[in-house]
Amino acid sequence: MTVKDKIETVVLWLKESQFAIALTGAGISVESGIPAFRGAQGLWDKYDPSEYATIDAFMRAPYKVWGMLKELYEITLKAEPNPTHKALAELERLGKLKAVITQNVDSLHQKAGSKKVIEFHGTGETLTCILCGAKYRIEEINLEKVPPFCECGGILKPDVVFFGEPIPLHALREAFELSERCDLLLVVGTSAQVYPAADIPRVAKRSGAKVVEINLEPTPLTNTISDIFIEGKAGEILPLILKAYKTQCE
Ligand code: NAD
């Protein structure tokens, strides 16, 4: 099947679908200038996840971990939504996409106009004091000198899920309810190696949904869970799907 044929099939499935959702990962924000964890120029080439991405690492060496967080914030705070975020937002506006479950913490879906976004791994927009639990918004924080401190003297931690931390309960519940309910799942820019997020396509498939995967390279879902795998840049494929869908539906 050519990419064109695959896109035509996805558009047909979108037209037939009553409840389509998307699962997105770090790969969709690469075209906005935010590095992913895995893959070419991924963050893990530079930062060992066991030293930078676990909650134990944060508690043990917050100064060191904040060095990486500062670098990431400097990129994400300036980043703008790209054609993938915009196409998904438009599909929602057209009434076709019911929700986006994202593993990303960069708020770019919301910036693009998506309304129903489940942030499976939390958000970088807010931070919590590890001592007193006080909440801050990122705009209130001076990132010149890290780590940032709470008024009480405690270190602030972004409300993102580090390895070893639980998924926020409301997001977990909602994401799995949506996975069971959807009849079409678009899986975009995720390596599908981080659990329990990687279970979402499996649950959707078991519940009868069609699974479409868009990625630069195959993942553990490809040829097992995915009904169609479209190899390529999400920022090129999603706009093509949107354009073909709109042409056929308008
Ligand atoms: P990942 O880094 O493990 O994998 C990224 C995937 O995206 C890879 O499979 C890669 O082939 C693919 N990819 C890269 N560029 C692409 C493109 N232009 N089009 C399509 N696919 C592309 O990401 P993950 O699966 O989301 O899991 C890692 C964790 O990292 C997530 O929990 C996420 O919270 C976190 N993270 C988030 C951000 C962010 O918020 N933007 C950035 C880095 C990491």
CATH 1.10.10.10 assigned to 1-34+81-121+166-250 = no
Q: Which two tokens stand for residue 38?
A: 């895995």
The full set of domain ranges for the chain reads: 1-34+81-121+166-250, 35-78+123-160
User: Do the strands 20-24 and 184-188 form a parallel or antiparallel pair, or are they unpaired?
Assistant: parallel
Mean pLDDT of 49-77: 94
At 128-187, the pLDDT tens digits run 999 999 999 999 999 999 999 999 999 999 999 999 999 999 999 999 999 999 999 999
Angle formed at CA 57 by CA 53 and CA 58, multiple of 5 degrees: 85
Q: Which two tokens stand for residue 234?
A: 């999400």
- Tell me: pLDDT of 118 over 80: yes
Pocket test for ligand 1, best of 69, 104, 200, 212 (most atoms within 8 A of CB): 104
Q: Per the CATH hierarchy, to which homologous superfamily does domain 35-78+123-160 belong?
A: SIR2/SIRT2 'Small Domain' (3.30.1600.10)
- CB of 83 sitting under 6 A from ligand 1: no
The label of the residue with tokens 């920022």 reads 235
DSSP characters for 14-56? HHH-SSEEEEE-GGGGGGGT---SSSTT-GGGTS-HHHHSBHH
Q: In residues, how long is the chain?
A: 250
- CB of 238 sitting under 6 A from ligand 1: no
Q: Which of 98, 103, 88 is nearest to 24 (CA)?
A: 103
At 195-227, the pLDDT tens digits run 999 999 999 999 999 999 999 999 999 999 999
- CB of 24 sitting under 6 A from ligand 1: no
Ligand 1 centre to CA of 26 (Å) is: 3
Mean confidence (pLDDT) of the chain: 96
Confidence of residue 40 (pLDDT cuts 50, 70, 90): low
- Tell me: pLDDT of 48 over 90: no
- The pTM of the full predicted model, rounded to 2 decimals, is 0.96
Q: Which two tokens stand for residue 175?
A: 């994401």
